Structure 1
């Protein structure tokens, strides 16, 4: 695989990671309402989920999901349902100003698992890799599966770095919002709306 292909794919990956989507909005929402560390743990979970999707694309499992309307629909609505559940939790949370506090390891572990579920239960991610990776693979070079896996890891690394930067940015904004009680009280509701919109978008996505 040539460096030109790798850099071209890296450029495409950066653009795709920056564009508003379920994953980066999820990271921003968690970093705003909790801390940059929360965003990092969510990012680690999302990247773990990406490993699942990358492996599925390489092994051809994504193609099976794409061809099976039933499997696609089940996974899609499971993901949408999970996000709507998170939205409901946010709406029920007390509307009070937040403060910077230490989170327990259990809380971070929960965030990590949320990131995994958020990513794995979005079948569009698998279909995304299934459609994107082959475009940058050179069959004449051989080792197609290895090429696809390498490209997937490049995307994962780009997503990890950018999402970590998103977390730091959102956390900085959060510190500013702490001095704005009127806005801070509404953050849980804002987070709930974000989760709800992402869930609806996934629910109405087509195979």
Structure 2
């Protein structure tokens, strides 16, 4: 039952709205389904990093060095604020099929959404604290018989992030959602930008 609780807890954490959700939402409605899906994959890669350092014990280094945690905390907050300001400056929304030679359609620009998702997740101190707390409990419960579960749980969480946010990208670019976005797209993009700035500001002031 303890393991089942961890599975449900992980699901609830992933689907709860946060900075990752706001970023996927913004990129999906502004740049299309592929941009949203790439952002989701970037978030999944970021989760893999969290899982890796949590399992191998680097988390203890961060936990016992306040200055290192502070650096990560402020870097993450600053990046969220940057994404929010960038979103506000480019909030104008026009839902249409991109031209063949447009900036959105260029393959060399697609990687930026992957990078945005990766750093948004990786530099979020709340995400780091989640993995520190959950995996410290899992590893302390491990008595040599559950090592595969600890690793499997990491894969489960990473996969859950990718699947959930890819689904968000799909829903936000559906025909029905397109009708709503054509009416309220610019306002929603502005709200998303303000949301990212708010997340960053709150994270920078939390101790």
Q: What interval of TM-score do these two structures reach, taking the shorter chain for normalisation?
A: 0.7 to 0.9
Is this contact kept in 1: 2:54–2:136, CA < 8 A? Answer: no
Q: Of residues 111, 122, 125 in structure 2, which corresponds to 1:123?
A: 125
Contact 1:98 1:178 in 2 (8 A): yes
- By how many angstroms is 1:7 displaced? 4.0
Post-superposition shift, 1:60?
Answer: 1.1
Cα deviation, 1:137-190, whole Å, max 9, x if unaligned, reads: 54234464x44222111111122111111111222264113542xx23334322
- Which residue in 1 is equivalent to 2:180? 177
Please give the per-residue CA displacement for 1:9-60, whole angstroms capped at 9, x wherever unaligned.
3222111111122222221222122222211100111111111111110111
Q: How many correspondences in the alignment?
A: 200
Where do 1:98-177 residues align within 5 Å? 98-101=95-98, 103-137=105-139, 138-142=141-145, 144=147, 146-172=148-174, 174-177=177-180
Deviation at 1:89?
1.6
Q: Does structure 1 retain, via aligned residues, the 8 Å contact 2:22–2:192? A: no
Could you list the per-position Cα deviations for residues 55-110 of structure 1 after superposition, in whole angstroms to 9, with x for gaps in the alignment?
A: 11011111211221111111111111112112222222263534232622222200
User: What TM-score results when the alignment is normalised by the length of structure 2?
Assistant: 0.85
Alignment of 1:190 with 2:191, yes or no, is yes
> Residues 179, 23 of structure 1: CA spacing in aligned structure 2 closer, same or farther, 3 A cutoff?
closer
Q: Is residue 30–residue 93 contact of structure 2 (8 Å, CA) maintained in 1?
A: no
User: Match of 2:12?
Assistant: 15
Supply the distance in 2 between the matched residues of 1:96 and 1:166 (Cα, whole angstroms): 18
Q: Which moved more, 1:94-103 or 1:15-24?
A: 94-103
Over aligned residue pairs, what C-alpha RMSD do you find?
A: 2.2
The question of whether the paired residues in 2 share the 8 Å contact of 1:66 and 1:127 is answered with: no
Quick one: which of 38, 43, 51 aligns to 1:41? 38
Q: Secondary structure at the match of 2:23?
A: helix
Contact 1:49 1:119 in 2 (8 A): yes
Task: Indicate the larger mover: 7-16 or 35-44.
Answer: 7-16
Counterpart in 2 of 1:57?
54
SS in 1 for 2:151: helix
2:72–2:123 contact (8 Å) kept in structure 1: yes
Change (3 A) 1:126 1:178: closer
- 1:78 touches 1:121 (CA, 8 Å); kept in 2? yes
Partners of 1:139 and 1:171 lie apart in 2 by 42
